[in-house]
Structure 1
Amino acid sequence: MTPSSTSLSPHWDIFCTVIDNFGDIGVTWRLAKQLSTDFGIQVTLWVDCLDSFQCILPSLDAQLTTQEHQGITIEHWQTPLKQTWKPGRVLIEAFACELPDSVIHERKTLAHPPLWINLDYLTAEAWIDDCHGLPSLLSDGQQRFFFFPGFSPKSGGLLCEKGLFERQTSWLNNPHAQHDWLTQLGFTHLATKNADATYISVFSYATPALTALSQHWQQDSKPIHLLVPHGKSLDSLQWMLSSHETHFITGNSYHAGNLHVHVLPMTSQEEFDKLLWYCDLNIVRGEDSFLRAQWAQKPFIWHIYPQEDNVHIDKLTAFMTQYCASLDSEATQCWQALCLAFNEDKSQTCVDAWLAFVQHNQTLKKHAEKWPKQALNAGDLATRLVNFVKKS
């Protein structure tokens, strides 16, 4: 790797390894776009798996080493690096990924190295308030800072670009825009909503809880429509396939009793946001879709990424505690029971919790509409990140 000049360009580098298909790259791609659009920062995004990235950015060419999209330079991160790394103002390693050795070694030689930030996973756990923004001295003498996204004023905040809620309101008040969106997906017949039906987006991991719920929904007194992007969720709906079918086909609809499943293609982040806005309930996973479900201002179930020793349940509980702080006790109990049962793969418990949940749907809907203002409190993540860099 050729040494670069010690004169720093104003750009920021973000390094991301794709672990959970779309969560990691989803967050870093949104961050890169917001830094560029809202703050005019030149961003280079280094990604190790372009195939997964292409699922949420269809215009991406997974065969190219270097390309530009929406003003962001995208580099295919390979080991060793095929490109020359040019030091900028900030160097971000996202979600505990390890920077390339060549970048670490070169940074050490610079008279004015870029600010090194470790951007961690989002959590509602209280301990991050005491760790956010702290420096860490590495064995080679270099220093990096920990940046913890979170829900409190002391944390790193939450990703939310400017104008998001205005765009959402405009789209929801525009039947023609919704019709065009559904037509592009191949489901024009859903453009006119059935007032008696419930529309649910499903972007979860495979789980027996979803199988149990879907089998219960076929017996519901009113129609239930599941809008499911092609992926892991469909593994839990295999019972719907007829004996001569082996898999779900994108663009097709499937029916069982009063349950209707519509298989959508994977789409861009902008189109996924519209899916969340359109539906009455959203079942989401990971980090990116989890946060976007909150910004959709609709009731949701978070299928959190499973971890050993049920660490993920602790994280789920911490979030639920914050989310329900201003919610009445009965609605809180019903929603938390449903989320826990879904994450603990408790099939019958999940069905029982669903029956209680629907009784409090309107209360939960009103709470979801108020939540974004509470959650954003003292500013969004990108703004806090930019201010942190300025102060550093």
Structure 2
Amino acid sequence: MRWDIFCKVIDNHGDIGVCWRLAADLGGRGDTVRLWIDDPSALAWMAPAGAPGVEALPWDAARTFEPGDVVVEAFGCELDEAVVAAIARAARERGRQPAWVNLEYLSAEAWVERCHALPSPVLSGPGQGLTKRFFYPGFTPRTGGLLREPDLAERQQRFDRAAWLAAQGVDWRGERVVSLFCYEPPGLQSWFSQLAASGTPTHLLVTPGRAAAATRKLLDQGAPTGAVTVHWLPLLTQRDYDHLLWGCDFNFVRGEDSLVRALWAGRPLAWHIYPQDDGAHEAKLDAFLDWLQAPASLRQLHRAWNFGDAAAPAMAWDESQATVRAARDRLLGQPDLVTQLRAFVAP
């Protein structure tokens, strides 16, 4: 199939990260993909080698395009009228409408199952009379599933942890390794102090951007490092970000893409959910923890990390490991997102 995926970049690591993984997975299965994007700059470090079957194009160039078999509107990015008019024109000329899918954000909330796959008739404008359908990623069989490439498990099995850490300048000799990818979590200071005072040697691998800025601010304020050795990572390709997650004993992640990749990694994790002014993120986090069947210790860690309303509890490493592994096993029993999406739009 021929796909057109439209993406507006709000968070370089979020929208574009999901859209590129989707495009690359489709291309890897033999489809052709045009990724129309308003700011492709992050692809220079995220996917410098590109991907077979995938072409990244400027958003504005789509004003004079002929749609393929499927148009994906990622995260409600709202297509230009010229693009919608092109879909309508193709529908008239071909005698059937190109599939038009609104790929939504990931959530574990109950309403996702009710809304997944619902049609949305277009009632006005150049697309009047057309229909687009909602496709919701999710954690349960009644949703669209999660992105998972067919060779992911095989690549993880071949992964050489020691060699990869050494390539990042980490002199690893069996010490605990933790990755940090976050915004500015309220619980960072409490957690870091606990880790530093634990007496257990720990390599903390900090991703660039907001996570690095928050950590540097903490250190500049005089926070003792104690047992923690801090490593400042460069920008990583998507493949190397997977390697980071596989190489750590605990992963702090944020947003959507890194949460999904951390689940596939099967390592203990904590999610820094994107804060929303109306507080909707709190219900979203609770729904995820319910699905995860998180024990009390992991729930308390998430509360402290995201809201700072309690001191960070001692991290129950073994309990967290068992929880995430069990969740991953449940997910592996469900079809992945691209398998479901291709079936969803098949003529």
- Letter paired with 1:336: R
- Letter paired with 1:47: I
Question: Which of 91, 110, 134 is the equivalent residue of 1:146?
Answer: 134
Q: Which residue of 1 aligns with 2:182?
A: 204
Matched residue count? 338
Q: Which residue of 2 aligns with 1:129?
A: 113
Q: Which residue of 2 aligns with 1:65?
A: none
Q: State the 1:223 CA deviation.
A: 1.4
- How many angstroms apart in 2 are the aligned matches of 1:153 and 1:242? 47
Question: Which of 28, 48, 62 is the equivalent residue of 1:58?
Answer: 48
Which deviations, in whole Å up to 9, do the C-alpha atoms of 1:306-359 show, x marking residues without a partner?
A: 1122101111111110111xx6xxxx111011112211133xx242x2x2xx3x
Which deviations, in whole Å up to 9, do the C-alpha atoms of 1:104-133 show, x marking residues without a partner?
A: 012112223311000001111111112111
Matched, 1:86 2:66: yes
Q: Which residue of 2 aligns with 1:336?
A: 299
- How many angstroms apart in 1 are the aligned matches of 2:140 and 2:323? 18
Which deviations, in whole Å up to 9, do the C-alpha atoms of 1:164-187 show, x marking residues without a partner?
A: 11211221xx36xx42x33443x1
Q: State the 1:255 CA deviation.
A: 7.6
Q: Which residue of 1 aligns with 2:165?
A: 182
- How many angstroms apart in 2 are the aligned matches of 1:188 and 1:126? 42
- Letter paired with 2:333: N
Matched, 1:259 2:228: yes
- How many angstroms apart in 2 are the aligned matches of 1:311 and 1:17? 22
Structure 1 residues without counterparts, runs of 5 or longer: 1-9, 60-67, 244-253
**Aligned ranges 1:293-308 → 2 under 5 Å:** 293-308=262-277
Give the TM-score of the pair, scaled to structure 1.
Answer: 0.81
Q: Which residue of 1 aligns with 2:36?
A: 46
Question: Which of 158, 169, 194 is the equivalent residue of 1:216?
Answer: 194
Q: 135-144 or 285-294, which moves further after superposition?
A: 135-144
User: Retained in 2: the 8 A contact 1:151–1:376?
Assistant: no
Structure 2 residues without counterparts, runs of 5 or longer: none
Q: State the 1:188 CA deviation.
A: 4.6
Structure 2 CA distance for partners of 1:142 and 1:272, relative to 1, 3 Å: same
Structure 2 CA distance for partners of 1:188 and 1:376, relative to 1, 3 Å: closer
User: Retained in 2: the 8 A contact 1:304–1:316?
Assistant: yes
Q: Secondary structure at the match of 1:341?
A: helix
Matched, 1:24 2:15: yes
**Alpha-carbon RMSD:** 2.0
Q: Secondary structure at the match of 2:42?
A: helix
- How many angstroms apart in 1 are the aligned matches of 2:145 and 2:186? 33
- How many angstroms apart in 2 are the aligned matches of 1:208 and 1:317? 17
Q: Which residue of 1 aligns with 2:330?
A: 374
User: Retained in 1: the 8 A contact 2:63–2:83?
Assistant: no
- Letter paired with 1:46: W
Which deviations, in whole Å up to 9, do the C-alpha atoms of 1:154-203 show, x marking residues without a partner?
A: 111111111211211221xx36xx42x33443x1523x323xxx211000
- Letter paired with 2:328: P
Q: Which residue of 2 aligns with 1:75?
A: 57
User: Retained in 1: the 8 A contact 2:64–2:82?
Assistant: no
Q: State the 1:49 CA deviation.
A: 1.1
How many percent of aligned residue pairs carry the same amino acid?
38
Q: State the 1:83 CA deviation.
A: 6.6
- How many angstroms apart in 1 are the aligned matches of 2:289 and 2:276? 18
- How many angstroms apart in 2 are the aligned matches of 1:127 and 1:82? 33
User: Retained in 1: the 8 A contact 2:186–2:306?
Assistant: no
- Letter paired with 2:68: G
Q: Which residue of 1 aligns with 2:219?
A: 240
Question: Which of 164, 167, 171 is the equivalent residue of 2:155?
Answer: 167
User: Retained in 2: the 8 A contact 1:206–1:234?
Assistant: no
- How many angstroms apart in 2 are the aligned matches of 1:368 and 1:132? 25
Q: State the 1:76 CA deviation.
A: 1.8
Matched, 1:101 2:101: no
- Letter paired with 1:363: E
Structure 2 CA distance for partners of 1:344 and 1:208, relative to 1, 3 Å: closer
Q: Which residue of 1 aligns with 2:280?
A: 311
Structure 2 CA distance for partners of 1:119 and 1:370, relative to 1, 3 Å: same
- How many angstroms apart in 1 are the aligned matches of 2:188 and 2:13? 20
Give the TM-score of the pair, scaled to structure 2.
Answer: 0.91
- How many angstroms apart in 1 are the aligned matches of 2:149 and 2:54? 16
- How many angstroms apart in 2 are the aligned matches of 1:382 and 1:350? 40
User: Retained in 1: the 8 A contact 2:181–2:207?
Assistant: yes
